[in-house]
Amino acid sequence: MADLELIPSVEPGAWDSWVAAHPSAHILQASAWGDLKTRFGWAAQRVGLARGNGLVAGAQVLFRRLPAGLGRLAYIPRGPLVDWNDEALTARLFDAVSVEARAGGAIALMVEPELPDDPVQCERMQALGFRAAPVTIQPPRTIVVDIAGDEQAVLANMKSKARYNIRLAERKGVTVRPASEADLPAFHDLMATTGERDAFGVHAPAYYEQAYRLFVPRDWARLLLAE
């Protein structure tokens, strides 16, 4: 690994170009996500390993100060971006991230990588010095729905209750439309109502406003409203 160069702070343009082409790319590793979080109490640092003229591994690390003067938490959401089958490269990246995290005052490093939750991956993370946390920051599960078929095929793969609710919404005249920034108050009201009902946290309106302005103009996100 002597041919690897550590880049402790990758500039946003080069970082985003690399992330966009990475097979495990995730929006939470985009520099715009770091920009969003820096407006709400976090700091962001993009640590990379380069070989020749290009990045080969990296992580956007978010930092947040812990209460009672305990130091800072370093957190990698849906990352790092690395070839997990290359154990030497993965270990080198985590070594680099750990050094940068300590230099940034972090007392702990939390990662929520985009990996399957299975024994093989758990053993891999344990070998790198991690242990399972009792809580998660990101939703712990991702549901992937195959929508390659026609409408009837997609509906057939759903539970009967879901199909019933969809048909009921159609009969009630519910439509879905692209929303604009002016619709964010209505979106936040829906989020607040749903969060209270299902017991999950909801950000303040300003958070969603900033997210909209950072992601929608780049076509990285869309807001849809059902009425």
At 123, which CATH number?
3.40.630.30
In whole angstroms, give the CA distance from residue 114 to residue 103. Answer: 26
CA distance linking residue 188 with residue 180, whole number of Å: 13
Torsion (CA) 176, 180, 182, 183 in degrees, nearest 10: 30
Question: Total domain count for the chain?
Answer: 2
The confidence band for 38, taking pLDDT boundaries of 50, 70 and 90, is very high
Task: Report whether 227 contacts 175 (CB < 8 A).
Answer: yes
The angle subtended at Cα 194 by Cα 191 and Cα 198, nearest 5°, is 135
Mean pLDDT is lowest, of 2-6, 24-28, 65-69, 170-174, for: 2-6
63-92 tens-digit pLDDT: 999 999 999 999 999 999 999 999 999 999
Cα separation, 64 vs 145, whole angstroms: 34
Task: Residue 43: give the domain boundaries.
Answer: 5-127
Verify that 180 and 214 share a domain, yes or no: yes
Q: Are 101 and 156 contained in the same domain?
A: no
